[in-house]
A and B are shown apart, each in its own frame.
Chain A
Amino acid sequence: MSTDGPASAEALREPALPALDPVIHAQPRLRVIVALSALADGDRVSFPRLQELAGLTAGNLATHLRRLEDAGYVRVAKSYRRRTPVTWLSLTTAGRLALEEYLAALRALLDSAGQGRHQHDNKAGREPRNGETAP
């Protein structure tokens, strides 16, 4: 990217920002998608277990899953166990890719904001960077 120095950072901020996927960029959906990404390849998880993993209420999880399913990021499959319906969730390839792109965009944002002052030290970069970007 063509950010020349810290002085021009503010002016360039708007166009230089990589867009953050709005489907993922919300706390509950981010939790869901990251929890699903922790499953081994090809595995799927039941709705109640995903609720535990993501720390969401059933209603909340159902709402956000619908949004993720509509975006094509999450695969929803239903099956029956002793006549009780079980919902199985897994990440689609598109979902996995979306999370990776979202992570790349986050890193690019943080790098451009912290450029010139910090290298890739994530923990140490926190406080001065916040002070710098706040108007």
Chain B
Amino acid sequence: MSDADARSAPQPPAAGELSPRESLELIRAQQASAARDLQVNPVPILASWGVAWALGFGAFYFASSGARGHFLPLWAAAAILCTFSAVAVAAVVAQLVRRGRGVRGPSRTVAASFGWSWLLALAGVFALNIGLSQHGLPASLAPLLWPGSSSVVVGVLYLAGGLLFADRVQYGLGAWMLAVGAGSVLAGWPANFAVLALAGGGGFLAAALCTVMRTRARAER
């Protein structure tokens, strides 16, 4: 807030008396600061998920007995993935709370429904995976099934997010994550974890970078 104030406060010579150019500049500065304050910034969200995928699935790779350089116990890999995922979830919640404070209306309903879509979709695919295991899916396929199916669901939801917020970067990330999910299963265990860490985590980080560059390009216009 103080940051926004500093940027949007070109003090006029006399209170209220603005030249046309000062008015136009005030409008631009105020538009930019209001947009910054009100719109969810996807960069911290994308970046923290990128780190979670890269480190979390990277850890699972090094915890797999078939991998070269196997040195991590499985519990440590699980702890790393859970910890960084929790950080990413916190980044999402922080953005939603900060931007939506004191705002009511259709955009908040859309944001809340979209948030619930994530929980519902992931719960659905997890339930499906558990069901498959109960019906005799070999345990050796679980490390392929769980992250691969989650990755596809994440991809579909980013496609939806791209449509909902008219955001090409998010849409592109969605398409990419579908390919990552499918590719990870095709790669087989334990290479699937390398695919998820490098292509999955890398995809999120690339999306964060694209969003930063797009924001800069718009600010210069």
Residues of chain A having any CB pair with chain B under 8 Å: 20, 25-28, 30-31, 34-35, 37-46, 48-50, 52-55, 88, 90, 103, 106-107, 109-110, 113, 122, 126, 129-130
- Kindly list chain A residues whose C-beta atoms are within 8 Å of the C-beta of B90: none
- Kindly list chain B residues whose C-beta atoms are within 8 Å of the C-beta of A55: 4-5, 8-9
Assembled-state Cα–Cα distance A126/B1 (Å): 28
Secondary structure at the B interface, as helix, strand, loop or mixed, is helix
Inter-chain pairs besides A43-B108, A103-B27, 14 sampled, C-beta below 8 Å: A27-B26, A30-B23, A30-B26, A34-B27, A35-B34, A39-B103, A40-B105, A42-B105, A42-B106, A43-B104, A43-B107, A53-B38, A107-B24, A113-B20
Assembled-state Cα–Cα distance A113/B96 (Å): 44
Cβ distance B8 to chain A, nearest Cβ, rounded Å: 7
Assembled-state Cα–Cα distance A27/B27 (Å): 9
Assembled-state Cα–Cα distance A102/B1 (Å): 27
A27 engages B12 (CB within 8 Å): yes
- Kindly list chain A residues whose C-beta atoms are within 8 Å of the C-beta of B102: 45-46, 48-50
- Kindly list chain A residues whose C-beta atoms are within 8 Å of the C-beta of B108: 43
Cβ distance A31 to chain B, nearest Cβ, rounded Å: 5
- Kindly list chain B residues whose C-beta atoms are within 8 Å of the C-beta of A103: 24, 27
On whether A34 and B107 interact (CB within 8 A), knowing A49-B101, A55-B4, the answer reads: no
User: Is B21 an interface position by the 8 A CB rule?
Assistant: yes
B105 engages A27 (CB within 8 Å): no
Residue of B23, B38, B105 most packed against chain A (CB within 10 A): B23
B20 engages A45 (CB within 8 Å): no
- Kindly list chain B residues whose C-beta atoms are within 8 Å of the C-beta of A122: 24
